[in-house]
Amino acid sequence: MPSDRLFGPSLTTDDMAAAVSDTAWLAAMLRFEAALATVQGRQGLISGDAVAGIVAACNPARFDVAVLGREAVASASPVVPLVAALRKAVGQEVATSVHRNATSQDVIDTAMMLISRDGLDILLVDLAALAAECANLAERHRDTPIAGRTLLQTALPTTFGCKAAIWLEGILDARRGLAGFRRDRLAVQLGGPVGTFSGSELVADLARELDLAQPDLPWQAARNRVAELGAMLAITAGAAAKIALDVALLAQSEVAEVVVAAPGSSSSMAHKRNPAQAIEARAAFALATAQSGVLLGAMAGEHERAAGAWQSEWPALTELFRVTAGAVARTLEMLTGLQVDAVRMRAKLGPAQIAPDTGGAAALVDRAIGIYRKEMEQ
């Protein structure tokens, strides 16, 4: 489902826009309700007929996202109208078995983890592709001398391959963090109205049903994992934006050591070759840092359920996934087909650096490529 917002497509990808869409959130919330009924049926808490009726009714096509959104205004939660609609759909006899032992936060928090899993799967694939492009540039330009620049001034020589190897390490490090979160930190939520539900067997069964981790305790009032994910996503966007900024600086008319393969145009100056993908990646990163700040701020919530801070997480995390995907995708597009002017790079070293000693840079490239290959084989 492509993004249909005016400022949306340039800052995300179609795959991520679909993965975190309102429809995807609805499907994830209904998946929680269906899974809850399923495990409660297995444990004899509700009847088999109730399970069948609830699971059949948990079809996203039966619900209108726009209507649920409007009705959510009255209770500050889309779960309230969703559960009401679900109970109406299953009929009076089964209605009491819907949403049993659960609360709105259980539904949304678990849906958040399901949405995050899909979003992380997309990012991990895209980051692997970006890492591959960085590794390709590093190997190809292992010995291509370029002026190192510190504080925006010419410093000592390095190689363009070394610069790409540093980009590679930033991307690999971000990918490691997200992969670890995907493996260990996506946890089900079933804490009940005030986060004291102690049905550990039911929680364990629900976690298995949804293929999520079982938390040691309900995390309704301890928002560390959400803030942690937000920080990791912003770091990922930042690792991509670092590459974008370097390329934009190298592509400046006065420097012209690289040329992007698909430059953007100007509405008034036909001669311009704007590094559009780099611009979009940096814009996406700026938005990512803002949204991650919302998630960090939401850690300080009131008592057993925050009044406003928790609600701020839903749109913030959604947008954070969108723009992080955009930063990574635009950076990958920018590097693909990047033209490197090795002659101009050498010329800008200056007369004192005709034969620069770049052995240390080349060794760093070799080390980075070795790390990359080992990780990609796992």
Catalytic residue IDs:
266, 305
Answer whether 209's CB lies under 8 Å from 35's CB. Answer: yes
DSSP 3-state of 289: helix
Provide the token pair at 51. 């399970």
Residue spans of alpha helices (H) in 78-159: 79-90, 92-95, 104-140
In angstroms, the CA 147 to CA 149 distance is 6
Angle, vertex CA 304, rays to CA 303 and CA 309, nearest 5: 75
Angle, vertex CA 332, rays to CA 330 and CA 338, nearest 5: 105
Answer whether 51's CB lies under 8 Å from 45's CB. Answer: no
In angstroms, the CA 339 to CA 269 distance is 23
Amino acid identity for residue 25 in this structure: W
Beta-carbon contacts of residue 336 (< 8 Å; ≥ 6 apart): 133, 261
Provide the token pair at 19. 């993965």
From first CA to last CA, the distance across the chain in angstroms is 32
Beta-carbon contacts of residue 320 (< 8 Å; ≥ 6 apart): 230, 233, 234, 288, 291, 292, 295
Residue 21 φ/ψ, nearest 5 degrees: -70, 170
For residue 326, give the nearest of 273, 288, 291, 290 by alpha carbon: 288
Answer whether 26's CB lies under 8 Å from 60's CB. Answer: yes
In angstroms, the CA 36 to CA 102 distance is 9
Extended beta strands in 22-62, E state: none
Looking at the DSSP assignment, which residues form a beta bridge with residue 274?
A: 264
